[in-house]
Structure 1
Amino acid sequence: MRVGIVILPDQPWAQASRRWRLAEEYGFDHAWTYDHLGWRDLVDGPWFDAVPTLTAAATVTSRIRLGTLVASPNFRHPVHFAREVTALDDLTGGRLTIGIGAGGTGHDDRVLGLPALTKRQRVDRFAEFVTLLDRLLRDGRADFEGDHYRAVDARSHPGCVQQPRCPFLVAANGPRSMRLAAQLGQGWVTIGSPADDLDAWWRSVAALVTHFEELAIAAGRDPADLDRVLSLDAAPVFSLTSVDYFAEATGRAAELGFTDVITHWPRADSWYAGSETTLERVVSELLPTIRNPDGA
C-alpha cells in the first residue's frame, strides 16, 4: 500500500514550501495539489495555481511523486495543458502523475462565463480532453476535431521524460468516465458516492471497485496492472481524525484491493481541519507498517 497526501494551494510559497519538504521527509509516496481557480468557500483566498505550485515543489523535493488531484476541462485546454505537462515532467525528472477528471459544477464551472453543461456534456468533453491529451503526449503532434476541442497541427515536443508519456490517474465514479480510466489510465482514483453514513460510503466504494474491475477486463486490461487509488477524505470522517481511525481506513482500503490511499494535510479550520500532531503520529507510528506490512 502506497500513501499520498494532498497539500492545498492555499498558502504563500514561503509557508507552503515547508509542507512539501516534509511530505518527502515523512516518507509519503506521492504528494498532490488541487487544480482549481477557486474552491468551495475558500474561493476568496488565498489560493494559488497548481502548475507553478508543482513547479516550486519540484525544486524542494527529489524523490516523491507529484501531481494534480485533479486537473479538469473546466478551464484547461488539452493543447496548452500538454505543454505544461511536458514541462512539469521535465522539471520533476519524471516524477509527475497527472490526475484528471471531468470537472464538476462550482466556481471553476462559472468563472469564465461559458454556457453551463449537463452532466452528459461534461463527460463528453472529458472524453475529448483525455483523448487529445493522450494523443499529443504520446505522438508529439496531433490534429483533432471534436464538439468541445479542436487542434490544428498541435505539438508537444520533446515529449515526456516518462515514456510513452507521464501516467494518467483518472478520477471517475460514473460508468463512462470509469470506462475511460480503464482504457487510457495507468490508474483510477475514486471518492466513492456521497453519503452521511460512513458504512454506506464504504459500501459505495466497494461497489465501484467491482465495477471498475469489470470495465478493465472488458477493455482487455488486467485490473492488477492498474493503480487503484482511494481519496480517504471523501468519506464523512476526516482520515486524520485520529491515529486509530487512519489505521482502520487504510486497512479497509487494502481489503478492497486499493494500491494507494490519499489523505490531506490538516488545516487550522474549515475543510480538513485537524492537528499536525496527529499527522506526525501517523507518520511515525503507522506509515512504515502501512507501506511495508510484512516488514520488508
Structure 2
Amino acid sequence: MILPEHRWWAAEPLWRMAEEYGFAHAWTYDHLGWRSLVDKPWFDAVPTLTAAAMATSTIRLGTLVASANFRHPVHFARELTALDDIADGRITLGVGAGGGGFDSVVLGQPALSARERVDRFTEFVELLDLILTQDRTDYTGTYYSAVQARRAPGCVQQPRLPFVIAANGPRSMRLAARHGQGWVTTGRQSESLDSWWRSVGELSLRFDAVLAEQGRDPTEVDRYLQVDAAPVFSMSSVEYFRDVVGRAAELGFTDVITHWPRADGPYAGKESTVEEVASEVLPEL
C-alpha cells in the first residue's frame, strides 16, 4: 500500500520498487482526505494508478478501497475501463462501503447510518457490475440511477476487472460472496494484538459459512488481509512480518497487504525493512 501523498517525482520510484522487489500487487487509498493526514498533501487514486500503470509492466495495481462515499458507478465504470486498458489488464478494484470520516461530510451530504451505508454499497457494487458486463444498463435505486449507461469497449479483463470487496458484517459478506473475486478484511478494531488475530480468525470462519450459503467454491475467492489494521505495524521488523504472513496463511488468507513505511505518523518505519522483506521473506512464499 502506497499512500497517494507524494508528488509524482517522489512517488514513482516507490511503485517501480514494489514491482522490482517482487510484490504481487500494489495498492493506494481512495479518499478525498484521510484521518490525521487530512490537512497534508493528498492526490486522487485514479490518476495515481494511471501513472503507476505507465511506470510498471507486471505488478497488479488497485484501490483499497474505492469508496461509495463520493463516487458514482456510471462515471467510475468509465474510469475503471480506462485504467484497465492502460494497465493492460492489471487492475483490481478493491471496493468498500465508505466510513463516517472526512469523505462522508466534505461534499455536504447527509450522514448515513451503518445500515444505509450498506444499502448504498449494495447498489454501488450491483450497478458497477452491470455496467461493466452488459452493453447498456438502466437502473433505478435509492442512491444511484443509470439511463442507458454504455460499456463499450469493456475491460481488457473479461467479463470485467476483478472486485475485491471489503466486508466484516453479514450483509457485506454476502455481497462479497455474490460479486467478489476476492474478499478483504481489516479485522475488528482492537488495542490487543491477540484479540485482533482472534477477530480475524472469527471473520474468516464466518466468510466460509457465507460462501457455502451462497454456493460459491471457496477456491474461487481470494482472501486479502490488511495486516496494518492490527495494533502493531507489520513492517516493524522482518521477523515480525514473516510471523504475520504465516499467521494469515494459517487462517486461510491467500494475500496480505502491508504499507510502505512512512517517515512518521501512521505506518512509521524504515524503508530498508521493505528491501529486507523482499530479499528474505518473499522468496519463501
Shorter-chain TM-score range: over 0.9
1:140 Cα deviation (Å)? 2.9
Of 255, 267, 283, the residue aligned with 2:250 is: 255
Name the amino acid aligned to 2:80: V
Of 274, 278, 283, the residue aligned with 1:279 is: 274
1:70 aligned residue: 65
Name the amino acid aligned to 1:283: A
TM-score normalised by length of structure 1: 0.95
TM-score normalised by length of structure 2: 0.99
1:252 Cα deviation (Å)? 0.3
1:156 Cα deviation (Å)? 2.1
2:149 aligned residue: 154
1:9 aligned residue: 4
Q: After the TM superposition, which segments of 4 or more aligned residues of structure 1 sit over 2 Å from their partners?
A: none
SS in 2 for 1:264: coil
2:188 is the alignment partner of 1:201: no
Paired residues of 1:188 and 1:227 also in contact (CA < 8 A): yes
Q: Take 1:208 and 1:240, find their aligned partners in 2: how far apart are those partners?
A: 23
1:138 aligned residue: 133
1:121 Cα deviation (Å)? 0.2
- Superposed CA RMSD in Å reads 0.6
2:75 aligned residue: 80
Paired residues of 1:21 and 1:61 also in contact (CA < 8 A): yes
2:89 aligned residue: 94
SS in 2 for 1:228: strand
Paired residues of 1:167 and 1:185 also in contact (CA < 8 A): yes
Of 13, 18, 21, the residue aligned with 1:23 is: 18
Residue by residue, what CA displacement relative to the aligned partner does 1:186-234 show, whole Å, maximum 9, x if unpaired?
0000000000000100000000000101111111111122100101100
Name the amino acid aligned to 1:281: E
2:51 is the alignment partner of 1:56: yes
Of 161, 166, 169, the residue aligned with 1:174 is: 169
Name the amino acid aligned to 2:210: L
SS in 1 for 2:92: strand
2:103 is the alignment partner of 1:104: no
Paired residues of 1:140 and 1:158 also in contact (CA < 8 A): no
Q: Take 1:148 and 1:225, find their aligned partners in 2: how far apart are those partners?
A: 30
Q: Take 1:16 and 1:133, find their aligned partners in 2: how far apart are those partners?
A: 29
Name the amino acid aligned to 1:191: T
SS in 1 for 2:112: coil
Taking the TM superposition and a 5 Å limit, the aligned residue runs for 1:107-122 are 107-122=102-117
1:30 Cα deviation (Å)? 0.3
Of 224, 228, 251, the residue aligned with 2:223 is: 228
Name the structure, 1 or 2, with higher relative contact order (CA <8 Å, separation 6+): 1
